[in-house]
Structure 1
Amino acid sequence: MSDTKPIIPPSRNESEEDIESLRKGSKKNVSYRSNGDLIPNAGKVELDPSQPFGMGIINDIKRTIGTHWKEEMTIFNQKTIAVSLLMFITVIAPTLTFGAIYGTSTGFSIGAVETILATAWTGCFFALFSGMPMAIMGSTGPSLIMTTVIYEMSKTIDVPFLTFHAWISVWTFVYTTVTALFDLTRYVKLATKFTDDIFALLIVSIFILNAFGSPFGPGGLLRYLDPDNKSHSDFQLEYGDEYIYLKSAILSILIGLACTATIFALRALKASPFLCNQTVRNSCSDFSVTVAVIIWSVLKNVCFPTVKVEELNVPDSFEPTYTCCNAECTAYFPDECLDVTAPAGKRAWFADMMDLNGKPEVIGIAAGPALLAFILFYLDNGITWHLIYSPRNGLQHGDAYNWDLFLNGFCNLINGLLGLPWLVATTVPCIVHIDNLTEKDKNGNIISVQENRLTYLFSHLLVGLSLLFLPAMKLVPMPVLLGVFLFMGLSSIGRIDFWNRFLLFFQQPSRYAKTPFNKYMKLRRVHLYTVLQCIFFAGVFMVQNTKSIAIAFPFMTLACIPGRLYLLPKIFEGWELLLLDGEEEEIKRFIEEKESVTITVHSGHDNNDDEESDE
């Protein structure tokens, strides 16, 4: 009985007679194509050619808003409404959290009101004019750290913080404009999935840790078990012995986890046989976050009105946070003027650019920290855009790195002049945004993505309108929003290949998911790649969570790019890197080439014949 043997056909230099001799069972020696020969320059990352001065911006505009703006502004359906409400909840919670931290970090020069206003107007502006409306702008940890450093610098050189912050914003706008005009954003495209996954897992891990209770910060559900938690201290001062912190802690943890579970349960209905029809199931899935937040906020306030839990730290009115001790507004009331019985008013909305305390050289000095701020804008925006607008996410309307970096510099210039915080692209809200606008089949393959600007616009209009209803927002318990944070992290982590490969260490090899790298590569090579990625991730994670060096976080992220470009090719072959972090089209091409050179023949040799195999 004849064998059926897989044979790799000859290379391009071999004749048709050689192939025919293989089919007839001849023992003629044949040279076979290796995996490394299937795709020329496999695994190499090439830099796009530079565009002439200013043409990068012009081409970005033509490719995106010039072609798709009307289409993106007229897609209005149930999903548009549902995702808009979801993104409002997704954005408002971290906005208020960052606002509170900005207040303590900048002597209340920037606070919750300023952070809400910056988020609202910048989001609406980007929704209307940006080239990549799927990417959400917001406050991030690195921008907060940078602002804190600038605040300390302003005290060192003895100039008003808001004036110094405004001049730095002017310089960063100059840097971003020059970068966009000379098409320098193309360098960030050297990042591959290797860097994207490290950055994405870092941000997702921050959401999950902060929801549960991070060892590097004070917040999180499990932190309510600590009797010294700030929320307990505030309630004990107000209610005295009537307040029992364990009641508050247990209820907070329960409603937080219940909110997360409710969201997942409602989303699971979409693929279930329950309820009357698919329209109802789709509605439950689309509005899952909104419904869960309403359910658990109402249950807490109706069923447990006497048990106090932490509320959102919302200001009482729409006005600048900084309250002045005197008419010159040189001191903060009441902390810096205990002898003053009443405030003199609020700080002006616009920073006084000429209030330099007799030091005009500060205008030039500001160019130095502005360079660091620019690098932060460049990397935070660029890597997030590269992650979101990767071909693997199925987006069809093109990217606009130069145009959007220019817009980001412009918006942060306005924010600096108004004494508002800087905003950059935020990774997890971006992932949540695109994930909820994507239709997938039962195997998780992308069918289509509803690329539109309305979800971005409506959600940030709601953020702006929240300034008119600030007291009402206190009805939403903070633990419920922590439950939303936890959902955002857990629902995003499964999209990250780095995390899925890390889980392979704990799985039975015969049960591994079927992926191209598991099929064609040796498992120890896959694990080696994951270990190296873990080392880079650990470095970025530790720098980001060490306050004394946290400002170097963008540089650590940047170091991942040369690590992939120059270190990994010395360890892995090009085709291996292609399978591990290449784009889907390249991987499909490799698989097609691999299958096209594999011929199944019926050999006339016995089982003792030598078998040829590929690498």
Structure 2
Amino acid sequence: MADEFEDNAPIASKEDKDRENEINRNLIPDAGKVPLDPAQLWGKGLIADIKRTVGTHWIEEMTNFNQKTVAVSLLMFITVIAPTLTFGAVYGTSTNFQIGTVETILATAWTGTFFALTCGMPMCVLGSTGPCLIMTTVIYEITKTMDVPFLPFYAWVSIWTFAYTTITAFFDLTRFVKLATKFTDDIFALLIVSIFIFNAIGSPFGPGGLLRYLDPDNKSHLDFLKELGGEEYDYLTSAVLSILIGIATCATIFTFRGLKTSPFLCNQASRDSIHDFSVTLGVVVWTLIKHLVFPSVELEELNVPSSFEPTFTCCDSSCTTYWPDQCTDQSEPTGTRSWFANMMDLNGKSHAIFVAAGPALLSFVLFYLDNGITWHLIYSPRNGLKHGESYNWDLFLVGFCNCVNGLLGLPWLVATTVPCIVQVNNLTERDAYGNIISVQETRLCHLVSHFMVGLSLLFLNAMKLIPMPVLLGVFLFMGLASIGRIEFWQRFLLFFQQPSRYEKTAFVKYMSIGRYHLYTILQILFFAGVFIVQNTKAIAIVFPFMTLLCIPARLWFLPKIFENWELLLLDGEEEEVSEWVAAKEQHKEKNLEVDSDFKKAPSDLTMDITGHTSGFSFDL
């Protein structure tokens, strides 16, 4: 054990420790500091983004079609459609069905397709997120307080938000997002991944998840009881089968993916094919098993609308009340709401146009951070992407797309972290040790998957064949597959491992065990703060600001606790860490050479009885 941790051997005295810290501190100037890119004002950043990304790589990214493209497109369709339907249902209950499932499908389809064709960072996927849902709900509550119609006010908020994003992109203010480091990236990534895992298993903060089927009052059980009658429906049988199918779907996907490096099957091409289509195969296998082996057991289905039309059905021609909830004595609706919001229908309160600028500022912060941190996380150098960044251009596009969505009464979309991680991981080729060999940077997966979401509007009934537990199993796979690549999670697991068996990373080799554990504890505290705020409805609206606080904490608070070289090893990019390690090893080699020469010198001296040595003389 001593041999394994000789670099962490205790220093004899405080003076020696201070001297060692000074050496480490000076190996690389400004180690651990986060630089801010120079500003590219007056639209220069926008132009540079377009030239660097769309103008350089668009044709290549639109033509690199192969088997992996097909497989990942199918995976991303499954990844995107399930939360789209789920969020759509929640939007319906949160906005009195003025935004619903059809609107969410339409927004996801057109926005994702347009963004894939025009954006600078196509490896980032747009979709519905919890923070956007919370923000929309807050806006709906504001309109009730102000006594103005929701959709016109929502449209004005969207216009103001687009104005803010345009100004930000024009003056290159997105460069401040790049001050985020792995400290913030990992907290945000673990937060989103944990949401996927909790929602798949059974979140304590929501009604969904596999374990929730054990509750006899689960909504799906109550719906089946109404349809079939109490004597014909056994909720426990449905619950147990749901849990088994969900877990089996997740396990099957992992098994199929593991075949790539196994000796099974006839050749590597067949193993690669099963690996690439593992999620699609897992969904198909367990959907067929449910319908062929357990046809009489009722399982929850996807909440799919029956037709393509606005969700809000009107009681009368004014379309201010919702059928059938607000006119129970009426057998049929008179129609549906218009696809376009009537911008001036503000109940005579024209000042609401300017009031909308307030919540729009919060919406802008949400867009800025949700997109910016996800972009920073995905386009980090450690992911091996080479086609460049375009923060300004992509933020402008997100603002534009969501402005259109606001005018049509559709939900806002932003970059979704876990689907982005899943896409990048599945387009990456790695060696047996997990090192990146190559990444296929393409627009086709993003484009095809969102086009398929739009196409699903033609096959709404067919989508009901997929049991909800199967998709929860996919969610569980996505969360578990993503969490292992988050360094924050890897360091957290060190608390439960034998120190002599730690992986020999740079911080383990050169830092004392207490120092990097202290860094992990601080990261846990910040994660807990963001997690608690995000899951507390009364204060969930400030979730983006809690995430934003992680950036100044890393810039100004952590350097008061840790040495700059320690922050570099814990929080720096791989190239920076490798440069510091090389300088450290070079310094150690020089010291070893000096020590070796010093030890050899006395043996080269010969002394005779008169007190003379070769080359020197002195009196006894």
TM-score by length of 2: 0.92
Query: What code does the residue aligned with 2:449 have?
Result: S
Query: What code does the residue aligned with 1:61 have?
Result: I
For the residue of structure 2 that corresponds to 1:340, the secondary structure is coil
Q: Which residue does the alignment assign to 1:259? A: 249
For the residue of structure 1 that corresponds to 2:300, the secondary structure is coil
- 1:314 paired to 2:268: no
Gaps of 5+ in 1: 1-5, 8-29, 609-615
Q: Which residue does the alignment assign to 2:491? A: 501
Q: C-alpha displacement at 1:596, in angstroms?
A: 1.5
Q: Which residue does the alignment assign to 1:456? A: 446
- 1:278 paired to 2:234: no
CA distance in 2, matches of 1:464, 1:75: 23
- 1:403 paired to 2:393: yes
- 1:330 paired to 2:320: yes
CA distance in 2, matches of 1:59, 1:592: 34
- 1:519 paired to 2:515: no
Query: What code does the residue aligned with 2:131 have?
Result: P
- Pick the aligned partner of 2:220 from 231, 234, 254: 231
Q: Which residue does the alignment assign to 1:613? A: none
Q: Which residue does the alignment assign to 1:593? A: 583
Q: Which residue does the alignment assign to 1:543? A: 533
- 1:178 paired to 2:167: yes
CA distance in 1, matches of 2:147, 2:319: 15
Matches within 5 A, 1:51-450: 51-240=40-229, 241-450=231-440
CA distance in 1, matches of 2:21, 2:411: 61
Q: 1:210 to 1:278 in 2, by over 3 A?
A: same
Q: 1:519 to 1:235 in 2, by over 3 A?
A: same
Deviations 1:556-575 (A, max 9, x none): 00010111011100000000
CA distance in 2, matches of 1:604, 1:161: 82
For the residue of structure 2 that corresponds to 1:289, the secondary structure is helix
CA distance in 1, matches of 2:84, 2:449: 13
- 1:483 paired to 2:473: yes
Gaps of 5+ in 2: 1-5, 8-18, 603-620
Deviations 1:146-202 (A, max 9, x none): 000000111111111011100000000000000000000000111000000000000
For the residue of structure 2 that corresponds to 1:87, the secondary structure is helix
Q: C-alpha displacement at 1:31, in angstroms?
A: 10
Deviations 1:409-467 (A, max 9, x none): 00000000000000000000000000000000111000100000001111111100000
Deviations 1:24-72 (A, max 9, x none): xxxxxx9997111101011111111111210010000000010000000
Matches within 5 A, 1:506-585: 506-585=496-575
CA distance in 2, matches of 1:73, 1:480: 32
For the residue of structure 2 that corresponds to 1:176, the secondary structure is helix
Q: Paired residues, what number?
A: 581
CA distance in 1, matches of 2:442, 2:489: 29
For the residue of structure 2 that corresponds to 1:448, the secondary structure is strand
TM-score by length of 1: 0.93
Deviations 1:461-495 (A, max 9, x none): 11000000001000000000000000000000001
Q: C-alpha displacement at 1:388, in angstroms?
A: 0.4
For the residue of structure 2 that corresponds to 1:447, the secondary structure is strand
Query: What code does the residue aligned with 2:191 have?
Result: L
Q: C-alpha displacement at 1:342, in angstroms?
A: 1.6
Q: C-alpha displacement at 1:605, in angstroms?
A: 3.6
For the residue of structure 2 that corresponds to 1:330, the secondary structure is coil
CA distance in 1, matches of 2:292, 2:451: 29
CA distance in 2, matches of 1:388, 1:320: 35
Deviations 1:480-539 (A, max 9, x none): 000000000000000100000000000000100121111111110000000000000000
Deviations 1:290-332 (A, max 9, x none): 0000000011011111100000000001111000000110100
Query: What code does the residue aligned with 1:322 have?
Result: F
Query: What code does the residue aligned with 1:426 have?
Result: T
Runs of 4 or more above 6 Å deviation: 30-33
For the residue of structure 2 that corresponds to 1:597, the secondary structure is helix
CA distance in 1, matches of 2:185, 2:220: 36
Q: Which residue does the alignment assign to 1:39? A: 28
Q: C-alpha displacement at 1:604, in angstroms?
A: 5.9
Q: 1:534 to 1:460 in 2, by over 3 A?
A: same
CA distance in 1, matches of 2:472, 2:329: 40
Query: What code does the residue aligned with 1:320 have?
Result: P
Query: What code does the residue aligned with 1:421 have?
Result: P
Deviations 1:183-240 (A, max 9, x none): 0000011100000000000000000011000101100001101111110011011111
For the residue of structure 2 that corresponds to 1:94, the secondary structure is helix
For the residue of structure 1 that corresponds to 2:388, the secondary structure is coil
Deviations 1:550-593 (A, max 9, x none): 00100000010111011100000000000001011111110111
CA distance in 2, matches of 1:227, 1:530: 40
